[in-house]
Structure 1
Amino acid sequence: MGNKTQAALWGGSKWIASAAKIGGSQRELFMNIQQAVETCFRKYVDFSGRASRSEYWWFLLAYLIVAIVGRLINQYIPIAVILVVLLPLMAVTVRRLHDIGKSGWMILIGLIPIIGMLVLIYLYVQPSQPGANRWGSSDALAS
């Protein structure tokens, strides 16, 4: 990892676009955990547009940490956390699917036991689709 990438992950400059050579030039946007949580709660009912990999995974990690710590404190706190985070988590998941060029309705694949979740995890780790797609441009991720 380069210094710019590490700075982005650990609270450095607000946005850093890193070019990776994978069959051409591709931009990937990195967020830190605080930026991802702020963005997801700000766009909690925005099911349009795109979400970068870092936005999705940092938000999911923050949710899991809060739920686990809450469970250690009291058995009912995770239920409250789920109620608070459910809509933002669904929205960022749909936006993440849009970012790789898939319909948000693909989230329903998760209803298929085991296989569905494995397919979704595979989709979530895919790199962002370069340029514009039906849900916006990759440059719009920074706004």
Structure 2
Amino acid sequence: MSDQYPQNPSGQQPGGQPNPYNGTPQYGQQPATGPNGEPPIWAPWYGISFGKAVGRFFKKYATFSGRASRSEFWWWYLANVIVGIVLSILYGIGFATSERSTVSTSTATSASVQSTITSPSALFVIAGILALLWGLAIIVPTLALGWRRLHDANLPGALWIIAIFVGIVGIVFGLLPSNPQGERYDRPTGAR
């Protein structure tokens, strides 16, 4: 008997039907948990909390194998939106506090031209750099998360590339229900 999944010793479901998932959790059930009460890192975590989903996102930084539950996927996107809003507000405040000066110039034909020169504030520059660094830091793990989300729906992860170019497709992929046949993308029992 595997220590990863609870198993019916007879290999049958109640009612005498053979269990097609013998040795694996039933659809929508969590695999056996470790000492910390969490499923193995390679397994999807159905019903994960916000904080745990964000932590798990970074633990699985460039992991394209395995699956990601809808809750793992959507909690991360909420966290990313929150960070994006905060950085945008800081950027906007930095832009609003930038120094502006007006320069007037005269030409030989007595026409006067005015132009405004803006020197960016420190907050504007720092928020812009932070936004750039944040975007670069999450490119690979966000791609990996979408890839794993498709695995949970029993689709090839490479389809996630479509979502990069057509944003609405990413939303549709994120909404797909879990499919028990997606377990074929899980790591073998001996994996971490």
Instruction: Tell me if TM exceeds 0.5.
Output: yes
Deviations 1:55-82 (A, max 9, x none): 0110111011111101211341322211
Unaligned runs of 5+ in 2: 1-25, 30-45, 92-126
Q: TM-score, normalised by structure 1?
A: 0.69
After the TM superposition, which residues 1-143 of structure 1 pair with which residues of structure 2 at under 5 Å, given as runs? Answer: 26-27=27-28, 29-74=46-91, 75-76=127-128, 77-112=130-165, 116-130=166-180, 133-136=183-186
Unaligned runs of 5+ in 1: 1-24
Tell me how far apart the structure 2 counterparts of residues 120 and 60 of structure 1 sit (CA, whole Å).
11
What displacement does 1:131 show? 5.2
Amino acid at match of 1:67: G
Q: Hey, which bits of structure 1, 4+ residues long, moved more than 4 A?
A: none
Instruction: Give the 3 Å change call, closer, same or farther, for CA 134–88 of structure 1 in structure 2.
Output: same
Tell me how far apart the structure 1 counterparts of residues 169 and 138 of structure 2 sit (CA, whole Å).
23
Residue 74 of structure 2 aligns to a residue whose secondary structure is: helix
Residue 27 of structure 1 aligns to a residue whose secondary structure is: coil
Task: Give 1 or 2 for the bigger CA radius of gyration.
Answer: 2
Tell me how far apart the structure 1 counterparts of residues 67 and 164 of structure 2 sit (CA, whole Å).
23
Tell me how far apart the structure 2 counterparts of residues 42 and 68 of structure 1 sit (CA, whole Å).
24
Alignment check: 8 A CA contact 1:63 1:85 kept? no
Which structure shows the bigger proportion of residues in helix conformation?
A: 1
RMSD of the TM alignment (CA)?
A: 2.3
> Would you say how many aligned residue pairs link Structure 1 and Structure 2?
112
Alignment check: 8 A CA contact 2:146 2:160 kept? yes
Alignment check: 8 A CA contact 1:68 1:78 kept? no
What displacement does 1:34 show? 0.6
Over the matched positions of the two proteins, sequence identity in percent amounts to: 34
